[in-house]
Structure 1
């Protein structure tokens, strides 16, 4: 019931209030496994993409969000489930493997999964080098990859703010990328890198942002 409420009522309401500019929804395959690979501007990105995408999209969320106590915590957990979020532990190498396995299951079920190849949101407004997990996922599941470019969400929900504010937000969905030509090369780091770089280049083209050929440091990492 809550899932129906979110998709039929809250999503259209959010689009009416915030009026995001959306392009390329006709590029999104409506059936079969699809990876939505996007640049990452703000915490709200994970809510914006499912609201404007023409099909449900699953993202990973911290497992503790689903076990929070109290009415507020339980309501938030139910909201995440209604948006098809997948609980996963985070913080170490084993957690990283569990995250990829959770994503793989979503895709093997024929559904859509959202990922940020940069690994963290951009604090300088540029697009950074992508981690190869997205390449490994595309190879393992044979899912098509739809590049997604977000702009303006960092103004919609600036760091430190809890509630979204009106801002000019643009979401662009690119043509799906098919990496079937690399079938059987799942164990090649060079192929995973080539696929990831191709995906990041398409995101860069769509976003028209500046590119930095290095990984973005996570908050708290030493310079």
Structure 2
């Protein structure tokens, strides 16, 4: 009920008014029932809001647990909001927590629901498409569900990194054809198979989105950029 209210009464109408999100092709690639995995590129936090808005089926996104553990009124509002838009808390602070997150993804898909996931693991720091993490492949093999690539366009313009306010900008969405990995059934423990599947998913996303591909994890690229920025701020000892 809360999800329906957020989509059709509270958040949905506002997003439609200012951003005019639309699926430009491929809506027929999402089956009307059954568990599926939507694997999307990740340009902005707002990706998780705009994609469900244009789909007839409910989409469940794993979200970092910090969104659900805040204290006071602000924390309560965040919990209400993120729960309302279909996100579930995921703790990724340890290896066991990461496995629990994957298990949650499998459970969601086996229940016949739509799981939204970002194979890059975090937002792209510069609009390019980064190396995918193999969790999406593991969920696909354990659940037996197809993976449907999704490309978001314009969300990084509407919701730039570091911005506190969203800006009106037309959002576009492309949904690709389902990818079937049943030929790898029973091989979820093979890391080479998981990498092969993940790379196939990322290639499909690259073709769908038109983004330049970078064979580096986005988190590593952000870390390197932060280190470079910090080094640039250091005083030049030769100066003076």
Residue 56 of structure 2: aligned partner = 54
Partner Cα distance (1:75, 1:150) in 2: 27
Structure 1 residue 14 corresponds to structure 2 residue 15: yes
Partner Cα distance (2:189, 2:71) in 1: 42
Describe the shift of the 1:144–1:95 C-alpha distance in structure 2 as closer, same or farther (beyond 3 A).
same
Aligned residues: 223
Partner Cα distance (1:69, 1:133) in 2: 30
Which piece of structure 1 moves more, 8-17 or 197-206?
8-17
Which piece of structure 1 moves more, 174-183 or 71-80?
71-80
Work out which of the residue numbers 192, 197, 200 in structure 2 matches 1:198: 200
Which piece of structure 1 moves more, 160-169 or 203-212?
160-169
| Unaligned 5+ runs, structure 2 | 229-240
Q: Highest CA radius of gyration, 1 or 2?
A: 2
Partner Cα distance (2:7, 2:42) in 1: 23
Describe the shift of the 1:8–1:21 C-alpha distance in structure 2 as closer, same or farther (beyond 3 A).
closer
TM-score between the two structures when normalised by the length of structure 1: 0.92
TM-score between the two structures when normalised by the length of structure 2: 0.86
Runs of 4+ displaced beyond 4 Å? none
Partner Cα distance (1:97, 1:67) in 2: 20
**What RMSD over aligned residues (CA atoms) do the two structures have, in Å?**
1.8
- Given that 1:90 and 1:96 are in contact with CA atoms closer than 8 Å, whether structure 2 keeps it comes out as yes
Residue 177 of structure 1: aligned partner = 179
| Unaligned 5+ runs, structure 1 | none
1:59 aligns to what SS in structure 2?
Answer: strand
Partner Cα distance (2:64, 2:119) in 1: 17
Deviations 1:62-108 (A, max 9, x none): 22322333334323212222222111223232221121111111111
Partner Cα distance (1:56, 1:77) in 2: 18
Work out which of the residue numbers 218, 222, 231 in structure 2 matches 1:219: 222
Displacement of 1:218 in angstroms is 5.5
Work out which of the residue numbers 21, 32, 35 in structure 2 matches 1:33: 35
